[in-house]
Amino acid sequence: MRAPVNKIIPLSVVDGPGNRTSVFLQKCNIACAYCHNPETQRMCTGCGICVEKCPVQALSLVQEKGRDLEGLPVIWDEKKCVQCDTCIRVCPYFSSPKIHLMEVEEVFSEIKKNLPFIRGITVSGGECTLYPEFLTELFTQVRAEGLTCYIDSNGCVDFSRYPDLMDVCDKVMLDVKAWDENVFYSLTRSSNETVKKNLIYLAKRHQLEEVRIVCLEPEVDVEAVIRGIAGSVREHLDDFTLKLIAFRSHGVRTALKDKEMPSGEQMEKWRGIAVNCGFSNIRIV
């Protein structure tokens, strides 16, 4: 069983508790206006623009049947690559040619190299829950090594449809990008109905590690999100961390790239609202 892997970070301290290996899968089911990793959103179309622009000729366009042995339209020569990211900057389709289709065993092999140094793994994206069977198989192998398995998700895939996955998943880090349906759609071109359903489902199962809000106004209805979460899972507010993330424009490729981050005073105001709503574990980053 294979999935498209954008990158694997051997040791990360920002993707869950302790040192973790973070696996980023390619492709997303929404299009966030403030996405910091837009190159993970879509699969490569094989347009060839990145091949022409690569300054070290580390990319080549597959001619035969439009696909290489991995099923991808562009071959990436890692030995030639100097990681200048020109290919990512010039891609008009929010993709990357630096992707590998990897078997579960291949990903697990990379994880095992870090076993003495990590407490678990976190799989992110893109949106990793687009590959539930892959995650289930990977998590089963990883948990057999005594490690924890976390999912980093936008919440737009219904977790309740995949009980086998949830049985081998320890915790989920869930994004709630907006509470009002129209605000959410303006940010993502998608609906937040499933996000709200997942919030309640995961809270009841005690599988929430943190719920995250990217804070910027007026694009995000931050106060409404805080109050909406509190009202939906009030009896579980002590079970997870509410993470208030100050918007930063790094990596953003939409009109929001010129948006300034909120002030410390504004972030503290939102923290105060969260405290008044009953949250006890609040983190500002």
C-alpha 285/C-alpha 245 separation (Å) is 5
Length of the chain: 285
- Give the DSSP letter of residue 94: S
> Which pLDDT belongs to residue 95?
94
What CATH number does the domain located at 2-39+100-284 have?
A: 3.20.20.70
Domain definitions of the chain by residue range:
2-39+100-284, 44-90
> Which pLDDT belongs to residue 62?
84
CB 98 within 8 A of CB 81: yes
Question: Is a pLDDT exceeding 90 seen at residue 40?
Answer: yes
> Which pLDDT belongs to residue 72?
83
Edge-first strand listing for the sheet containing 208-215: 100-103, 2-12, 20-25, 120-124, 148-153, 171-175, 208-215, 241-246, 282-284
Question: Is a pLDDT exceeding 60 seen at residue 251?
Answer: yes
pLDDT in tens, 196-247: 999 999 999 999 999 999 999 999 999 999 999 999 999 999 999 999 999 9
The answer for residues whose C-beta is within 8 angstroms of residue 20's C-beta and 6 or more apart is 11, 12, 13, 118, 119, 120, 121, 122, 150
Least confident span in 52-61, 69-78, 168-177, 243-252: 69-78
Amino acid at 76: W
Question: pTM for the complete prediction?
Answer: 0.93
For the domain made up of 44-90, give the CATH fold.
Alpha-Beta Plaits (3.30.70)
CB 214 within 8 A of CB 250: no
> Which pLDDT belongs to residue 228?
98
C-alpha 143/C-alpha 208 separation (Å) is 18
Give the Cβ contact number of residue 55 at 10 Å.
Answer: 9
Token readout for 76 is: 């990436």
pLDDT in tens, 90-135: 999 999 999 999 999 999 999 999 999 999 999 999 999 999 999 9
Amino acid at 281: N
67: pLDDT confidence band, cut at 50, 70 and 90? Answer: low
C-alpha 99/C-alpha 24 separation (Å) is 10
